[in-house]
Amino acid sequence: MRIYYDTEFIENGRTIDLISIGMVAEDGRELYAVNREMPVRRIRRHDWLMKHVVPSLPHGHGDRRNHLPKAWLFDYGDPVVKRRAVIAAQVRRFIQDTPDPQLWAWYGAYDHVALAQLFGPMIDLPTGVPMWTNDLRQECERLGNPRLPEQPAGVHNALADARHNRVRAEFLDSLA
């Protein structure tokens, strides 16, 4: 069964640090988590992330939004905000609860590294977690680079992007 996913991350050419991850399985299950331990100072200095990714992170709702410290990039009290170890355990369980899991992402090379690094070095991937991610962009190219459905909203929110990866895959499947 396919699992479509996306990560948001910050990288510097040597390291990839997870900001958030979204996963959608073909059976309808979903997982979304924001890394409580993300490198906030580095993110603040990254104009593209501040403009495109940070607005999609949880920022509180209603009156709570008015009482969060202005210095916070996101609402640390939101239930989707978790420590890396918790995210790793949830991702592992999500994948292992999926029969014959296949990972699929859009330009998925860095996504796979961000996912794999939740568990440490690649050799430490838990049993049942695939050692590679299938790339939807590569599949698109293989099928003649057709025009894909556009994402209506939520670009750079990892869960919205994972959901759209499923839409892309279903569209590409209809052409294959």
In order along its 176 residues, the chain shows pLDDT tens digits of 999 999 999 999 999 999 999 999 999 999 999 999 999 999 999 999 999 999 999 988 777 777 788 778 999 999 999 999 999 999 999 999 999 999 999 999 999 999 999 999 989 999 999 999 999 999 999 999 999 999 999 999 999 999 999 999 999 999 98
Rounded to two decimals, the pTM is: 0.95
CA 89 to chain centre: 15
User: Please, where are the H alpha helices in the chain?
Assistant: 40-44, 47-52, 62-67, 84-96, 109-116, 136-142, 158-175
**HEC string for 73-93:** CCCCCCCCEECHHHHHHHHHH
User: What is the number of H-type helices and E-type strands within the chain?
Assistant: 7, 6
pLDDT of residue 71: 78
Work out the number of other CB atoms within 10 angstroms of the CB of residue 141. Answer: 11
Distances (CA, A) of 98 to 4, 133, 161, 175: 12, 15, 20, 26
pLDDT of residue 62: 72
